[in-house]
Each structure stands twice: as C-alpha cells, then as structure tokens.
Amino acid sequence: MPEKMNIIEAVNAALEDEMEEDEKVIAYGEDVGEDGGVFRATEGLQEKFGEKRCFSSPLAESGIAGTAIGMSLYGFRPVVEMQFSGFSYLAFYQMKEHASRMRIRSRGDYEVPLTMRAPYGGGISALEHHQESPEAFYSHAQGMHVVIPSTPQDTYSLLRKSIQMDDPVVFLEPKKTYRAFKEEVDRDKEVELEASRVIQEGSDVTLIAWGAMVPVAEDAAEEVDADVEIIDPRTIYPMDFETITESVKKTGRAMILHEAPKSGGFGAEISSRIQENAILNMEAPVERVAAPDVPYPLYTLEDFYMPNKKRAVKGLERVLEF
C-alpha cells in the first residue's frame, strides 16, 4: 500500500528496503551511523542492520569513495553519503579515474556497483560551500550515471534502481525540497534510470528542469498565458534526449531551468542537442535561466542568486514572444 513520504523519508525507505533484500548493501559516510546523517537520511538503519552494515566514517571523502570502490570489487554494494555535494570534490578523483573506468580498464572483468549520495543545491541558508550544484562536473565522468530526483516517488524508485546497478551512480538529492512536501510513494513502482518524466503536456513551449527547480518550473508555467510542456530528465547522464527532442519538435520553443551557473551548466549541453536535432522545428532560440556566473554567495544573498519563479516567468515570456 502506498505511503506518504517526503524526499528524505523516501531516501531512508529505499535504503532500508535494499538493505533488507540484499545483505551486500552497506551504507556509510560522515555521521551516517548512530546519528543518522546530517539530514537524518539514514536514521534507524544502524539500529536495524547493525554497525557492520551502517556506520560512520572518518571525515575523509577520498577515503570514503576509495574504500567503497574496493568493497565493490569484492562483491559488496556500498551506498556512501557525502555530507554535502561540495565536499564530494575530494572524492572526484576516485570516482572519475577509478570507479567510472574500472569496467573498461578490466575489459569487463570487474564491476563497481557503488552509489554515492550527496545533498546538493542551495535554498537552506547554509554556508556557500554547502550549496553547490555539481552535476555538470560528474556528467563528464563517462562510465557512471548521474541521477537527480525531484519527487519522493522518483527518489525512492531511482535510488533503489541506482543501488541495483552494476556501475557507479552519483545520486544528487535536492536538499531544498527534502521536507518541502509529501506524496504517495508506491514501493513496488519501478522507474527506469534513463527515462525522462513528462510532468505535464503542452503545445506552446517545452520547459526542462530538474531537482529543486521542478516546483519552480511548475509555478512559473501557471503564470504565463501559454500551454507549457514540462519535462524532468531525472538522469543527467546519460540523459534521455529523445523525449526532449520530440517535445521541442512539437512545441517549437524550449527553455531550460537549472540551479547551477549558466556558463558550462548542463543546460548548455541540452541546448546544443536541441539545436542539432530540432533546429528546423524551432520558432525561437533556446532560453536558459540559471544561476549567475559568480561563486555561490553567503546566505544573505541567496535569494538574489538562485533562479526563482519571477525569473522563470520572464524567461518563458522571452521565448514565447520571440
């Protein structure tokens, strides 16, 4: 029977169910054990599964990722938590140079079924290096998936699917919406990693958003006098470009809304793919609404930095009026 959950509860439920079904699934990271993680995503798991399957690690992100790779090579399915995505850069070398390459390096002899979870994005008035959106960095580490859910159901289903993968997954969780809303979560529902979710269909413009920007996109769509199709890619890499392309061919217009800075953000890749595959159907240039190209500010300026409904509405108006 479906249960009402928010995103953080969906993370916990997915971990619990995977650990229940597969004794090789191990959860660890900074404060993950008896404290249940800084956001309490792993609360109760150590008590249920014991200290050997859910435990706290030293504050050493490179070591967390490195030991997880080793565990993966010996048949375990580690799910490691980076306390904040900004800390995960210390693990980037391990993930990019080893985890993502192990299958091709060993000519298929070895797999790395490792999931690295990390709260990402802004909106909680935290320190600036706790608020980053690093999906574009990880999308360049071919050989692993980059997944960003936006709803409790997708969080639950996509995290379980990520843990079951035989290749590494970077699972970025939008912490701004961790506890923002609840919805019915069906524990039996499966969601494919590389399939976009069409949130609502429309005929005038395609609006693409992920993570905490999805609610912003939904609110903005209600403010314009147009039929807006909203797509949540869910998996940043490898992305389901086919669904996006077909939508843009239908609407003739596209806007991309993301939290990371505009220059070099993954929205640029989506825009390029749209130009490559649907340019003859376009009625206007692709519009991008994103954070400015400056370092993430202290929390007093956060509201000026993050994309919001007002900026999203203006972006939609620009592309619709072109």
Structure confidence by residue, pLDDT tens digits, 280-298: 999 999 999 999 999 998 8
Give the H or E element holding residue 308: none
| Cβ within 8 Å of residue 305, ≥6 positions away | 122, 291, 292, 294, 296, 297
Task: Pick the catalytic residue from 129, 130, 145, 258.
Answer: 130
pLDDT of residue 300: 85
**CB-count burial class (<10 Å; 0-12, 13-18, 19+) for 277:** middle
Amino acid sitting at position 305: Y
CATH number for the domain running over 197-321: 3.40.50.920
Q: Average the pLDDT over 124-152 and give the result.
A: 90
3-185 and 197-321 share one fold: yes
Query: At 131, is the pLDDT very low, low, confident or very high (cuts 50, 70, 90)?
Result: confident
CA distance 91 to 17: 27
CA distance 136 to 279: 24
Domain edges within the chain: 3-185, 197-321
Kindly state the tokens that stand for 115.
């999931």
CATH number for the domain running over 3-185: 3.40.50.970
Q: Is 130 a catalytic residue?
A: yes
Kindly state the tokens that stand for 210.
């992920």
CB of 32 closer than 8 Å to CB of 57? yes
Is the pTM higher than 0.85? The answer reads: yes
pLDDT of residue 308: 96
